[in-house]
Chain A
Amino acid sequence: MELELRSRLTDELSTGPEPPIGDLVVASMRQGRRLRVARRLRMGGIALLAVVVAAGLVGGVVTLRPAAPQVVTPATGTDPLVPATPAGLLVLLESLLPDGVTSGYAATPGGGLMVQVYLDTGHGPGMLRVAVGRDADGPAAVGHRAVMDGGGAVTGPVRRADGAQVTVVFLPDNCVQRTVVLFDRPDGIVVQVNIAACLAWDGTGNPPGPQVLTAVQAEAVAADPRWGTMLPRSLVDEGAARHPTLPDLA
């Protein structure tokens, strides 16, 4: 007897219950929106790369096309600003990162506003560190000077349409700060994103790790108006719940 493949497959499929399809459509829309953002960032990344290459070739001043204006939004009455905590910064950082698995959370000792996270987007964990401070007195400003004194290739500062200035520093001899994005806001807040090419010190060395953000992606992270020495209470509360204790940066 000749049996069609299709009917036999249909029979076999019908013998076992299909698992529920759940919120597949909603999830696909969420994933689609993230893909759209990633696509825009890639487009921006190509534009920035072209500028960086051009700057390297001529060794001159870099002029970037200004990014879209961004309004710094104050906290609403229902979510007042409270002093920032490392755990709150981590929650904000995780919400701004591309999809992936996060781990390796840490912060500077004593409540300093510098946090660390490992992000694995499918190519192994890579380390990011973000510092927030006020110009000239915060840890980011210190990092700013240290980075600027450390040599390497500097792109910028580039003034954005929203008044912020972005500087990208590439440090070939510093795996913890292989690429540093400094985001200086007009209100004096400095956000520094360190994209490492290694993981944190493990007692004997810094194991290698992929750079998990491009400079353009890091700029997008730093441009979130919620970064600051004050944070919305909801972020601080969520941080306290999700990261009640954080190990010190190594």
Chain B
Amino acid sequence: MSDVDAEFVEYARAAAPKLRRTAYLLCHDWHLAQDFTQTTLAKLFVSWRRIQRRDSPDAYARKVLLRVFLDHQRRSSSRELVVARIAETEAPADQPELRLTLLEAMGHISARDRAVLVLRYWEDQSVDTVADLLGISAGTVKSQSARGLSRLRRLLGTTELALRD
């Protein structure tokens, strides 16, 4: 194995678990998350010499993962759950077992809104960074964050989720 390959292996071993968890939050399917992560790392491997010279391979990996996820969503929109099937009413407070988990609720918002929420609140990225990653304006990031959180609150029957700007 060449030195370059060895350096890639070292990076990939460290980065893979976190990338896979992020992928899981995006797609709520561990098998798919594994595929997304593998494809992301494969794309990094192809251009590893160039990426190595960048300041942050993590940022590049995050961007590639998002593209892989959104491309997959575009190609197979049938995987998206039909929004109309999900109850819009609040879950009853005295029956917590009927509530959706947050992970389940995330599966019922649009892929784009989910990506914004995962980047903002899981990856802790700034509005500007998310805007850059998704190729949208900062204003759109804010509005999609608000829309996504609002929908989560309705699905979860709670107002406890904080919205940060």
Contact = CB atoms under 8 A, between A and B. Distances in A.
A37 B33 CA distance: 25
A1 interface: yes
A18 interface: yes
Interface residues of B, number: 34
B3 interface: no
Contacts of B20: 18, 21, 24
B34 interface: yes
List 8 tightest A-B contacts by C-beta distance, closest first. Answer: A32-B45, A28-B41, A31-B42, A5-B121, A32-B42, A25-B12, A28-B42, A3-B160
A4 interface: yes
A28 B121 contact: no
Interface string B24-55: 11000010001001111111111000000000
A27 B124 CA distance: 29
Contacts, number: 90
Interface in A21-35: 21-22, 24-25, 27-33, 35
Interface string A7-48: 011001100001101101101111111011001000000000
Interface in A222-239: none
Contacts of A19: 30, 34
B21 interface: yes
B157 to A, nearest CB: 13
